[in-house]
């Protein structure tokens, strides 16, 4: 769901090529396959390319910290994330190209390639990891999916989906539960996610809310992640602006640009 972060991204295709749906008396999503629903929800905040401005607030029982973030995304393999505030971290940037990541730290003028040993580390003290950014589309390609239940509503149908890892898939979670809103015209928006360990322990809960139009598309503008082992802790992403279908050259996602 760090497809969500990348769009920190973090922020987030096919579903975004349509106009936002209008409410109706009752809707059904049976025309879409379960894989199509998961894929479209995963791309809602990213599109084929995107530019996002957002605030990331990290809350713990002891302290609260807020970051002002700008992020660009190209497809499922390229992303650039820039921190504007607080002053101590201003200019710090993260670049993703495929499965590789780099971090630029302007205060010490150091460019660091993120090693595999750091992939499970917290990204800037948040409840997201570097791996969340690299594997933004993992829930689509590394898992098999089945619909658990459907709930009809006036504006959309809520679809609850179970995702289980494919054999030998390089994933962290032993199970992922998704809640999606499927609107008329097959517009799919993620509403929630539960991530479980291989032992079946609930590790974190992600809720998406404040659904509203941005750049002509209906998207969730708030994402809240709550780790279950740390009561009172959460990371909140609030999107202030989103632009889709930008023309970004490959050089935009280069190491030289990362250091500018």
Task: Report the pLDDT averaged over residues 31-41.
Answer: 95
The predicted structure's pLDDT at residue 31: 85
The predicted structure's pLDDT at residue 242: 96
Q: Give the pLDDT band of residue 88 (cuts 50, 70, 90).
A: very high
Q: Give the pLDDT band of residue 26 (cuts 50, 70, 90).
A: very low
Q: Are 13 and 45 in contact (CB under 8 A)?
A: no
The predicted structure's pLDDT at residue 8: 42
Q: Are 214 and 241 in contact (CB under 8 A)?
A: yes
Tally of structural domains, the chain: 1
Read off the CATH number of the domain in which 134 is found. 2.50.20.10
CA distance to 58, 81, 117, 255, per residue, from 236 (Å): 6, 16, 26, 29
Task: Report the pLDDT averaged over residues 176-191.
Answer: 95
Task: Report the pLDDT averaged over residues 41-48.
Answer: 89
Task: Report the pLDDT averaged over residues 222-236.
Answer: 97
Of 141-145, 236-240, 244-248, which gets the smallest average pLDDT? 244-248
The predicted structure's pLDDT at residue 161: 98
Task: Report the pLDDT averaged over residues 41-67.
Answer: 95
In tens, the pLDDT along 119-172 reads: 999 999 999 999 888 777 899 999 999 999 999 999 999 999 999 999 999 999
- Cα torsion at 217, 47, 81, 79 (round to 10°)? -170
**111 CB-side CA count, 13 A:** 10
Percent of the chain surpassing pLDDT 70: 88
Question: Rounded to an integer, what is the distance from CA 46 to the centroid of its chain?
Answer: 8
Q: Assess whether pLDDT exceeds 50 at residue 203.
A: yes
3-state secondary structure the chain: CHHHHCCCCCCCCCHHHCCCCCCCCCCCCCCCCHHHHHHHHHCCCCCCEEEEEEEEEEECCCCEEEEEEEEEEECCCEEEEEEEECHHHCCCEEEEECCEEEEEECCCCEEEECCHHHCCCECCCCCCEHHHHHCCCHHHHCEEEEEEEEEECCCCEEEEEEEEECCCCCCCCCEEEEEEEECHHHCEEEEEEEEECCCCCEEEEEEEEEEEEECCEEEEEEEEEEECCCCCCEEEEEEEEEEECCCCCHHHHCHHHHCC
CA distance 129 to 25: 40
More confident residue, 260 or 89: 89
The predicted structure's pLDDT at residue 30: 57
The domain in which residue 51 lies consists of 2-15+22-258
Q: Assess whether pLDDT exceeds 90 at residue 16.
A: no
Task: Report the pLDDT averaged over residues 206-220.
Answer: 96
């Amino acid at each position: 769901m760090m497809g969500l972060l990348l769009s920190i991204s973090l922020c987030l295709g096919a579903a975004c090529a349509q106009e936002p749906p209008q409410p109706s008396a009752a809707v059904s999503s049976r025309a879409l396959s379960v894989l199509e629903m998961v894929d479209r929800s995963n791309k809602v905040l990213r599109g084929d390319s995107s530019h996002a401005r957002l605030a990331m607030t990290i809350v713990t029982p002891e302290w609260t910290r807020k970051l002002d973030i700008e992020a660009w995304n190209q497809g499922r393999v390229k992303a650039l994330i820039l921190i504007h505030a607080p002053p101590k971290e201003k200019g710090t940037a993260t670049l993703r190209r495929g499965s590789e990541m780099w971090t630029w730290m302007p205060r010490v003028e150091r460019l660091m390639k993120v090693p595999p040993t750091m992939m499970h580390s917290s990204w800037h003290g948040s409840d997201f990891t570097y791996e969340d950014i690299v594997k933004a589309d993992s829930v689509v390609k590394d898992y098999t999916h089945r619909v658990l239940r459907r709930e009809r509503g006036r504006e959309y149908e809520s679809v609850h989906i179970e995702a289980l890892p494919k054999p030998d898939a390089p994933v962290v979670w032993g199970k992922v539960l998704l809640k999606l809103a499927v609107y008329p015209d097959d517009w799919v928006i993620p509403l929630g996610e539960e991530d479980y360990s291989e032992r079946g322990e609930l590790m974190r809960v992600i809720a998406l809310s404040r659904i509203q139009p941005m750049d002509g598309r209906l998207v969730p503008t708030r994402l809240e992640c709550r780790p279950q082992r740390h009561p009172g802790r959460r990371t909140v992403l609030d999107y202030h602006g989103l632009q889709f279908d930008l023309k970004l050259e490959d050089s935009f996602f280069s190491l030289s640009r990362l250091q500018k």
